[in-house]
Structure 1
Amino acid sequence: MASFKEIISTDTPVLIDFFATWCGPCQTMMPVLEKLKDDLGDEVRILKIDVDKNKALATQMNVRGVPAFMIYKKGKLIWKGSGVQPLHVLKDEIAKA
């Protein structure tokens, strides 16, 4: 299994979704992320991270609330957002990457 650092260091943009199973807005984002993956296919990699199961990583990444999103490309943080995000915002930020 690839390490987190290896995953975010690829040429393909990686959208990280920090979520929690108990989080209502996180559930709201699930169909948005599925549509994003359907629309963009291999142009983006979506990585879902449960903050309750990955507390150390969430703390390291400065996640203060969920849902929280980050886009990485070649190991660099390109964009960061929190709360429910519209599909077009995520698409625009991935396109910029």
Structure 2
Amino acid sequence: MARTKVTLTKEVPNTVGTVTANPFAIGQDSYVKGSFTGDVAKISMVVNGQTFTSIPVTGGMYQYYASGKISSVNDSVTMIAYDAKGKELDRASVTVQKK
């Protein structure tokens, strides 16, 4: 009887999740707020291409401190959702408006 080496691998479940973002009013809001679903464990913010530190989230809602980071209605702001291992799950654009 011939022997064959078999390599076993543990299947990693596919993580999924979504993120939404509420509008941000310059001069009124200090936080970008929104909600998330699924396996989202952390959220970060990108403003005009600069990525800020990710924060841990639980409970389906988040608020990310953005005062001083968003300064113009022309700023491009995106919220990014990650799973516990740092895999990007979703992105949401933030509508920036004046007070």
- Using the size of structure 1 for normalisation, the TM-score is 0.28
Higher relative contact order (CA 8 A, sep 6+): 1
Between structure 1 and structure 2, the one with the greater Rg is: 2
Q: As a proportion of its length, which structure holds more strand?
A: 2
Q: As a proportion of its length, which structure holds more helix?
A: 1
- Using the size of structure 2 for normalisation, the TM-score is 0.28
